[in-house]
Amino acid sequence: NAMLSPSSKTQLRTLKKEHDQLLALMPLASSRIQGEWTALEEKWQAYIGIIRSIAHDELLAHGNKEALLDSLSADLTARYQVMQRALH
């Protein structure tokens, strides 16, 4: 089975924590923020889908998927930070 790199595992734990914190705040958010959240949720689901694929060794281009994970992780991190600031 393919394994996630240590950095990808760390990214996943950090993003999951940030995701869950923001999810808990969404009922209090404005409709604009909720709309942005919907778009972020699509990226989150794509990110999780890639992780599941790697974990199940279903991908031949594992290295390319790790690079995609890094890119998605950076994007999600930046957007989650913007959303955190907007909600506080």
Reported as a single tens digit per residue, the pLDDT across 21-64 is: 999 999 999 999 999 999 999 999 998 888 887 766 655 555 66
pTM confidence score: 0.71
Tell me, what's the pLDDT at 1?
Answer: 39
Are the C-beta atoms of 3 and 53 separated by less than 8 Å? no
pLDDT at 60 (0 to 100): 55
C-alpha 52: how far from chain center: 13
Q: 37-55: b or e for each residue (b if 16 or more CB lie within 10 Å)?
A: beebeeebeebeebbeebe
Helices (H) and strands (E) in the chain, counts: 3, 0
* Span 60-78, pLDDT tens digits: 555 667 777 888 888 999 9
- pLDDT tens digits for 1-25? 356 778 888 888 999 999 999 999 9
**Predicted local confidence at residue 49, as pLDDT:** 87
CA pair distance 21, 56, nearest whole angstrom:
28
